[in-house]
Structure 1
Amino acid sequence: MTHLPGTARGRRLAVLVAVLALLTTACGGGDLEKALRGGYQTLPRESGSPKDGGTVTVALTPGLTPNYIYPYPPASANGTAIAKGILWRSLYRPSGEGDQVTDASLSLAEPPRYSDDRRTAAIEMKNYEWSNGRPVTADDVVFSLALLKAAIKESPANWSFYTPGQFPDGVTVKASSSHRLTLTTETAYNPSYLMSMLTLLYVMPAKEWSIARTGGPHLDYTRPKNAAAVYRYLTRQSQTPATFAGNPLWQIVNGPYRLKSFDPTTGSYTLVPNRNYSGPGDARLDQVDFKSFTSASAVLNQFKAGNLTVGTLDSSFIMQIGALKKQGYHVYGAAAPARFDPLTLNFENTTGNFDKVIAQRYVRQALQHLIDQDGYVRSRGVYSGAASVNYSPAGSDSPYPPAFGNKAPYPYDPAAAKKLLTGHGWKVAPGGTTTCVRPGTGADECGAGIPRGQAIDFALASASTPAYVGARDIAFASEAKKLGIRITLDTKSLNYLYSNYGNSFAPANKDKWAAQDYGPLYLAAGYPSSNTVFNTGGSFNLGGYRDAEGDKLINASTFGADSGALADEVTHLGEDLPVLYFPTPHTLVVWKDSLSGPPASFRSLLSFLYTPELWYFHR
């Protein structure tokens, strides 16, 4: 366990006291009611007469500074790619809407036509062009899939959406003409799931990028050896941020904008229109500046100073809505589609027998009973009313809701948590140390591998931003202490958590963490399958959760024809607790009222989907 020195421990205690005081204050009345007058959950309509020109300044998500440009950063690079979906479009554009997988109008291809056995899909490309005037063709899609396969063959961790044996394994793409291709799969997929994978297939220029060295010959990328050489070359070219803007490779784009400049020190960058872009939108803006920030409070300060045009804020700043509106900003907030906030549990951490303890479903149920979701939502110290309760990986208001709906399977109930523990052989010592007194595998005993005297004592790695993460973790640890469960908080940066605390890509560290709260996890809006996240061997199964029934249900939603199988999967994962569930905070989208565009283009910012080609300043 991590032990804090005296000074740090005193600071932690002061924070704990402050948060607990805030938790006792409901959100009704007073300043909060005044701040929320007029609401923030109504999306403003498109307005004004468009005018050409102007620069939009966008705030990037704090803590995720971009440092890579190739769309698929290898795991070893610990990279965040810049302008994803703006420079290079995926074959099908994600919709950002809860009931749609793709945005048909912004996709590079028409919807697939499937064979009866769902193993073949005929796809026709739209008339898009690369920035050098060459058409975007079916061969570009073949090239892009070959590079994705090369990345995964080098390391499965190179694509966080990969599960061995699944997409893109067993998937082939053949171009029958310049604008037509056939996609074939060895195993039939649920069409909605396959489409969610195709929204992640970024289309890259085959003719210009199929080289293994600068100025070298073009290679036959359909040969895996050549595809691997091309992949290694492109990723090497992406390892020097200072060259991003000047490298001619990265100027060949099919999206609405191209890169003008990149600051390798801060991660900020500037985009200008791709004049050969042939998709929807007029690209009226002269320039889009993306600015990096280290904290959400710094973003807020820049909004208040009038230096930002568009950005998002976490729910801890809900009290600022009124002030931002007075300064000429629109504010819209909601829970992002297919987002849930998990407290990730490490089922493989053997330190102090944590793996044996957390393997017991009743222990996970008891811990979930200690999370006061309704109280956290109301609390000014956590969400200040700007959140929605949520008890499954599907997220709030999902088109695939669990069978229990919005009724918590394990509602906040410390008495129920205590009963679960005492009923399974634990002596609960409120404020002290709860220990196992009846070891064994019987129905009223502690469970396999748990010795007499075992305590429930573990460290929780808590992300340093956004602010609500630390607040809810402190509240949870305090509630656990009342039942004799010791949870030691260890604050870490988001980048540190991503790099070091994930058994799927940092297996050597599996005994260095027991639980982590890194904020949100986003599944595919429109079809929020937990494939790769909670299935055995899933590439983003950070805690090593394994459950035969869960695997069975995830396979049914992934490969079956019945989309209703997803609701069964969601229900089981809400009840079996591969993670503990926190409320889903409302992301606040903020933009100047002098800027307008289709309302959906601002709502999609909840899912970090940027469509600046649809925006304009109005007269």
Structure 2
Amino acid sequence: MKGELRMVLTSAESGPSDTRVRFSVVSALLAVVVMVAACSSGSSGSSSGGATVTGGTATLALPAGTTPDFIFPLVDGAHYSVANIEQFQRLMWRPLYLYGNNGKPTVNQASSLAETPVFSDNNTSVTITLKPYKWSDGQPVTSRDLTFLFNLLQANKANWAAYLPGDIPDNVKAVQVQNAQSFKLVLEHSVAPAWFQANQLSQLMPIPQHAWDRTSANGAVGDYDTTPTGAKAVYDFLISQAKQQTSYATNPLWQVVDGPWKLTDYRTDGYAAFVPNPTYSGSVKPKLTKFIEQPFTTEEAELNVLRSGGVDYGYLPQSDVSQAQALEGQGYTFSPWVSWGINYSPFNFANPTVGPIFKQLYFRQAMQMIIDQNGFVKNLFKGYGWPTNGPVPVKPDNPYVSSYVKSGPYKFNPTQAANTLKSHGWTIHPDAVSECTGDCGPGVAPGAKLEFSLIYASGDPIVSQEVQAWKSAAAQAGIRLDISGAPFNQVIADAAPCTPGQKCSWQIVYWGGGWLYGVNPYPVGDQQFQCGAGANFGSYCDNTNDANIKAVETQPGLDAMTKYEDYLSLQLPVLWIPYRPYQLSMIKKTLHGVDQSPILSLTPEDWSLTK
């Protein structure tokens, strides 16, 4: 599923590809001949016993057609992608808390910029102590760098892609600096500590006030950020610099970093080369002398380089997974990269014609019963996948998913789907169009038809096969699906949430991927399932669900999470579709220490080479 966003949308088009919406893009999972551990996702690398090399260069193959193209950490919506955040910016600048550790969606405390947060006052305040890090120019990372970030966020939050009304920075009443290394956030209300750390504090990335608090390239550094007008001017200047891609590796602004890597070469085709930051203060220092991100325009081009041994860390296109065994014989290890996400297909509840039908729970239940999740995994994914049964991922193993969601309340059963519709006023015509001849629910007019348009992202043969199987099963239950394919970007554009008075023609969409809980690793669906949320494409709205989400964000423990996910699993705000790995990684056996983070972040400072 190549490509993901803060919310991460997943596109299923060719190979590892990244979407601008933090949705998890699905790329790459058919495993045909290779009977290797189907869903391994933790640390990978060589099992050979060669001598460790001092230094060396490791090359990573970027997803085809997906490249980093924005360097400023306060990312706008047009650049909100895994390629820019997890796999580019965070190599150079570290957030307070970095998530993804040993193949789990948990905090990587060793690589985080701050000590464990301390909550107090009934969880209405939190004290954060920075570790003794330095910027690459020798200046210390201090609380002032955090207030600088916060001031820019407050003045420009409408431009920040991660902004959700009511969340950071809205839920912070005051930032109280205690000393150069410590500050307290006084919150508007009590919060659940685990949620606040994972989904709020992990988004805060201190930036160098002593170098970036300026309004022009030649102007003096000042405290401009301390006024809204000044903060806007600073933000505008930094954004203008970030648009000058050709200067990424030479602009003095971007050379001031606190992460383990400095950018030494960047090309507009997406090629990026990094060298170790000699003043990096983290506990794990880079062992390599250079790390390269190599772009590719097509999967075929990447596969040719992979066959020649030209990349240390690449991937197999799903259509070529049968070559994994041969590549293992050439010194690679096959390792599917499991990401922290779910897959689904939204209904358009705001559609004036079929929206009233979609609002009937019994109808959504019938639709879910025609999705053969286990069959898709076995026959289409060749075992490399798993069902999605609710808003919380089933894999990798985690403490959040409930036993109810693991089991899945809806099983594949077209006959039961037809009977469910029949019992609610529909006259069923298998392999034809059924119609409403009784009481089919509020807003559903007599004579309404069970015929719907389904637009899906073309380009991935597996997605096409899913949709065809879905259409066939629907016909058995008397539901006609008129399917049509379109490019991924068009599908996402067409599926935008509808606003009052807007003509909303789309009915059901499937982009072939789903959602990655990337920079929001605590898996609560406020961004995609809450009333009015920006990524709530189908305009689903349920007050009970909103209350459950609020409880997850304010009540410590997992009881609220269980209540939330069990309710939404049953209510079907979307159709749950099985999920596939982010990519089918091929990693050289001479490359060690690779942790395939489910958050999709990269930590090449952990890597080393052997002969």
TM-score, structure 2 as length reference: 0.86
Counterparts of 1:506 and 1:198, CA distance in 2 = 34
Aligned to 1:190: 192
Q: What amino acid does structure 1 have at the position aligned with 2:522? A: Y
Mapping for residues 187-266 of structure 1, pairs under 5 Å: 187-196=189-198, 197-217=200-220, 218-264=222-268, 266=269
Aligned to 1:124: 129
Unaligned runs of 5+ in 2: 1-29
Counterparts of 2:260 and 2:487, CA distance in 1 = 33
Q: What amino acid does structure 2 have at the position aligned with 1:530? A: G
Q: What amino acid does structure 1 have at the position aligned with 2:566? A: T
Structure 1 residues 319-328 or 608-617, which shifts more? 319-328
Q: Give yes or no for the alignment of 1:502 onto 2:496.
A: yes
1:258 and 1:348, CA in 2 relative to 1: closer, same or farther beyond 3 A?
Answer: farther
Q: What amino acid does structure 2 have at the position aligned with 1:292? A: P
Aligned to 2:363: 363
Counterparts of 1:452 and 1:247, CA distance in 2 = 66
Shift of 1:551: 0.6
Mapping for residues 62-211 of structure 1, pairs under 5 Å: 62-75=64-77, 81=84, 83-96=88-101, 101-152=106-157, 154-155=158-159, 158-160=160-162, 162-171=163-172, 172-196=174-198, 197-211=200-214
Q: Deviations over 1:469-515 (max 9, x none)?
A: 33322321232233342333333444444555332899968544632
Aligned to 2:543: 548
Counterparts of 1:506 and 1:87, CA distance in 2 = 43
8 Å CA contact retained: 1:501, 1:509: no
Aligned counterpart for 2:381 among listed residues 375, 378, 383: 383
Aligned to 1:23: none
1:32 and 1:232, CA in 2 relative to 1: closer, same or farther beyond 3 A?
Answer: closer
- Secondary structure of 1:521's aligned partner: strand
Shift of 1:560: 1.4
Q: What amino acid does structure 1 have at the position aligned with 2:90? A: G
1:64 and 1:188, CA in 2 relative to 1: closer, same or farther beyond 3 A?
Answer: farther
1:237 and 1:307, CA in 2 relative to 1: closer, same or farther beyond 3 A?
Answer: same
Mapping for residues 542-581 of structure 1, pairs under 5 Å: 542-581=537-576
Counterparts of 1:434 and 1:242, CA distance in 2 = 58
Counterparts of 1:297 and 1:486, CA distance in 2 = 36
8 Å CA contact retained: 1:101, 1:192: no
- Secondary structure of 2:466's aligned partner: helix
Aligned to 1:11: none
Q: Give yes or no for the alignment of 1:614 onto 2:606.
A: yes
- Secondary structure of 1:552's aligned partner: helix
Counterparts of 2:90 and 2:34, CA distance in 1 = 35
The alignment yields a C-alpha RMSD, in angstroms, of 2.8
1:246 and 1:510, CA in 2 relative to 1: closer, same or farther beyond 3 A?
Answer: farther
Aligned residues, how many?
Answer: 569
8 Å CA contact retained: 1:163, 1:537: no
Runs of 4+ in 1 over 6 A off after TM superposition: 504-509
Q: Give yes or no for the alignment of 1:590 onto 2:586.
A: yes
8 Å CA contact retained: 1:464, 1:494: yes
1:414 and 1:323, CA in 2 relative to 1: closer, same or farther beyond 3 A?
Answer: same
Counterparts of 2:226 and 2:332, CA distance in 1 = 50
8 Å CA contact retained: 1:502, 1:510: no
8 Å CA contact retained: 1:130, 1:253: yes
Shift of 1:372: 0.4
Mapping for residues 308-323 of structure 1, pairs under 5 Å: 308-313=311-316, 317-323=320-326
Counterparts of 2:367 and 2:218, CA distance in 1 = 59
Shift of 1:316: 5.6
Mapping for residues 336-485 of structure 1, pairs under 5 Å: 336-337=339-340, 339-350=341-352, 353-379=353-379, 382-396=380-394, 397-438=397-438, 445-464=439-458, 466-485=460-479
8 Å CA contact retained: 1:151, 1:159: no
Q: Give yes or no for the alignment of 1:531 onto 2:533.
A: no
TM-score, structure 1 as length reference: 0.85
1:135 and 1:319, CA in 2 relative to 1: closer, same or farther beyond 3 A?
Answer: same
Counterparts of 1:563 and 1:507, CA distance in 2 = 40
Unaligned runs of 5+ in 1: 1-30, 439-444
1:511 and 1:143, CA in 2 relative to 1: closer, same or farther beyond 3 A?
Answer: farther
Q: Deviations over 1:362-417 (max 9, x none)?
A: 111111101101111110xx201111123012111331223414322111000111
- Secondary structure of 1:194's aligned partner: helix
Shift of 1:91: 1.0
Counterparts of 2:227 and 2:603, CA distance in 1 = 35
8 Å CA contact retained: 1:74, 1:151: no
Shift of 1:186: 0.8
Counterparts of 1:508 and 1:219, CA distance in 2 = 44
- Secondary structure of 1:288's aligned partner: strand
Shift of 1:57: 1.5
Mapping for residues 11-50 of structure 1, pairs under 5 Å: 35-36=34-35, 41=40, 44=44, 48=49, 49-50=51-52
8 Å CA contact retained: 1:138, 1:175: yes
Structure 1 residues 568-577 or 59-68, which shifts more? 59-68
Shift of 1:359: 1.3
Q: Deviations over 1:2-24 (max 9, x none)?
A: xxxxxxxxxxxxxxxxxxxxxxx
1:461 and 1:296, CA in 2 relative to 1: closer, same or farther beyond 3 A?
Answer: farther
Q: What amino acid does structure 2 have at the position aligned with 1:548? A: N
Shift of 1:63: 4.6
Aligned counterpart for 1:306 among listed residues 301, 305, 309: 309
Counterparts of 1:170 and 1:471, CA distance in 2 = 45
1:355 and 1:213, CA in 2 relative to 1: closer, same or farther beyond 3 A?
Answer: farther
8 Å CA contact retained: 2:405, 2:569: no
8 Å CA contact retained: 1:531, 1:558: no
Shift of 1:139: 1.1
Q: Deviations over 1:410-454 (max 9, x none)?
A: 11000111112111122222222122222xxxxxx2222222222
Shift of 1:124: 0.9
Shift of 1:168: 2.0
Counterparts of 1:505 and 1:236, CA distance in 2 = 32
1:313 and 1:72, CA in 2 relative to 1: closer, same or farther beyond 3 A?
Answer: farther
Aligned to 1:602: 595
Higher relative contact order (CA 8 A, sep 6+): 2
Q: Give yes or no for the alignment of 1:293 onto 2:296.
A: yes
Aligned to 1:272: 275
Q: Deviations over 1:79-106 (max 9, x none)?
A: 7626031121111111256766311100
Counterparts of 2:253 and 2:371, CA distance in 1 = 50
Percent identical pairs in the alignment equals 30
1:334 and 1:412, CA in 2 relative to 1: closer, same or farther beyond 3 A?
Answer: farther
8 Å CA contact retained: 2:46, 2:592: yes
